[in-house]
Each structure stands twice: as structure tokens, then as C-alpha cells.
Amino acid sequence: MRYFIELQYDGAAYCGWQRQPAEPTVQGTIEQKLSMLLRRDTEIVGAGRTDTGVNASFYIAHFDSDVAVDCQQLAYKLNKVLPDDIAIIRIYEVEADKHARFDAKEREYTYLLTQHKAPFRRFSAWRFEVDIDVEAMNSAAAKLLEYEDFTSFAKLNSNNKTNICHITHAEWLREADGTLRFTIRADRFLRNMVRAIVGTLVDVGRGRYTVEEFEDIIRSKDLSRSSAGAPACGLFLSGVKY
């Protein structure tokens, strides 16, 4: 039997999602507690990797069990034994061939940026106290939907089989408290891609690049042309669609 786990996590204390020897990771932490509760070694498969320090406000993973699981009780017990920076929202049974990673059709990331001192955003947003042109940033973001090859925003030596991604949405919005929220959706994302895009879009907003120069960066397929990646603290995996 296969079960999906819907969860959230604050990634500040972890070296990303994926299990690593001798390093704290979200996957490794959940697997250790899940195996303890089920009394057998249990591996989980996630919807995708997140890098060191990156968060997830919505994440899906799956695990298999030879015996039926009381989903509500297991979710309750997992929340009791997991650290406070990982929360299990629910566990539910799915078809035996349903795959948390390979069946995902779309993923959504959100990035938060604040331009003023914000006590409740200090660990979950990039504090960037510089005037930026949000309209120019949105004009540049719209260009992302016109391209498929995002080599210019792909971390080197990531062993990607392809740098092709299909972006369906990319937009900055200002929330009521002044926080800038960037939302981007695609069928897949490359390692460090969203942070590199955000950093480059912010440089458009501050006048370092024009919208036309941003488009040239995409077309160049040259990572050295893009800006430094935005800080990990402001990035959230916020949606997965199946």
C-alpha cells in the first residue's frame, strides 16, 4: 500500500530535502521518525529537491507499507516526535503506482521580499531596502514564459539531463503589509533556478539590467550572465499539482 504525506517545513536547519550522510536533511529526519513508529526501515520519496535553507509551505512525499496504516494516528504521532520545524498536515492512501515525484505535473515556488524592517518576516523573507521598479520586474518576468531553455539560471555541475522547463506563470505582487511576493509555476525547476531568477529580476528592478538585457541573459544560456542567487530564506515550495 502506498501513502502520500502532505507536510510543511522550515528549511533553515537543514541541508535541503534530500538525504545526505552525516548532514541534517528533511527527508532523513522524517525517515528516521517514520521508521521508528512503523518499526521497520521506511524510505520516503519526495516531490522534488529543495536546497539548503529553502522552505516548503506545501510538500508531498510518499512511502510504502505492507500493512494498513491508520493515517490519522500516524500523522498525530509523527507530529509528536518530529522537530517543530517540520509539520505533517495529513497522510492518505493513494493508488499503488501513484508517485510523489514522477506524477507531479506542475510545481509552484513563492519568494518573499521585504523592503523594510519586518519582525515577523525576518526569517522568511529577503530584506532588501532599496527602491525597485516592480513594473519593470514583471515585464521581465513575463519574458520567462516565452523560453524553454534556462541554462542561464541553472547551477553548474548539477547533472541535469536537460535544462528545458515550461514556465506557465511568473509574477510579482505587493501584499497588504508591503511584502513583495513572487510566484512562479512550471512543470519542473532546475537546481538554484528560482533563486537565480529572483536575484536577476531584482537587478532589473534596481536598474542594473533593462528588460531587454534580461531577455538577452535568458537567450545567452550562460550562467555567468545572471545575477547572484537570492537568499534561501525567502524561498518556499508552495504547490504541487498532480
Which residues form the catalytic set? 51
- As given in the structure block, the three cell numbers for residue 102 are 514522477
Q: Which candidate, 194, 184, 106, places its Cα nearest to that of 145?
A: 184
Cα distance between residue 137 and residue 113, in whole Å: 13
Q: Using the 8-state DSSP alphabet, how is residue 85 labeled?
A: T
Q: Using the 8-state DSSP alphabet, how is residue 67 labeled?
A: S
b/e code 151-167 from CB counts within 10 Å (16+ = b): bbbbeeeeebeebebeb
Distance between terminal CA atoms of the chain? 19
Cα distance between residue 81 and residue 72, in whole Å: 15
Cα distance between residue 81 and residue 75, in whole Å: 10
| Continuous segment of H or E residues that includes residue 217 | helix 211-220
Cβ-based neighbours of 162, under 8 Å, separated by 6 or more = none
User: Nearest 5°: CA angle at 133, between 128 and 138?
Assistant: 105
55-64/2-9 β-pairing: antiparallel
